[in-house]
Amino acid sequence: MAIYVDADACPVKAEIERVATRHRLRVLVVSNGGIRPSPNPLIETVIVPDGPDEADKWIAERAGAGDIVVTGDIPLAARAVGAGAQVLKHDGTRLGPDNIGNVLASRDLMADLRAADPFRQGGGRGFTKADRSRFLDALELAVRRAVAGR
């Protein structure tokens, strides 16, 4: 069992480290570089080659049943769910077989809408303390599920 972190633009790395340390779990922090390595022996920094989606590919090739993947990337989330991993977004949203199809379809629809109207200004809401708190609760629950084998 391991926690895989799609580390580029991940706002909850400290929270992941805290939960992993409490449960003595291995964490793989995957990025193209620019991430400060943790001195924590449970936290492994994995630098992948530059290129689009290299971190996502690396995680998707390794994560499976019993693992937890933390990502905001929906296609990676879909691959991880398909491999049997638990997936959490940074705000604590759990992605699984019951909702990943709808989330992926919504992502594709929004991409089409942005492409059709280049002046459409999007941008999500800011990351809040409530999001951080929800993430901590969701990660703790995911760890307990993984330990219990569910």
Tokens 């799609």 belong to 6
Q: What angle do CA 65, 1, 24 make, to 5 degrees?
A: 155
Please give the CATH architecture assigned to the domain spanning 2-148: 3-Layer(aba) Sandwich (3.40)
This prediction's pTM: 0.87
DSSP-assigned letter for residue 24: T
pLDDT in tens, 21-53: 999 999 999 999 888 899 999 999 999 998 889
Output the average pLDDT for the chain: 89
Beta-carbon contacts of 92 under 8 Å, excluding residues fewer than 6 positions away, are: 131, 133, 134, 135, 136, 137, 138, 139
Structure confidence at residue 149 as a pLDDT band (50, 70, 90): confident
Beta-carbon contacts of 132 under 8 Å, excluding residues fewer than 6 positions away, are: 11, 12, 15
Cα-flanking dihedrals φ and ψ of residue 147, to 5°?
A: -65, -40
- pLDDT score for 110: 59
Instruction: List the domain boundaries for the chain.
Output: 2-148
- CA distances 72 to 5, 7, 53, Å, are 10, 10, 12
Sign of CA dihedral 91, 86, 44, 148: positive
Kindly tell me if the per-residue pLDDT of 112 is higher than 60: no
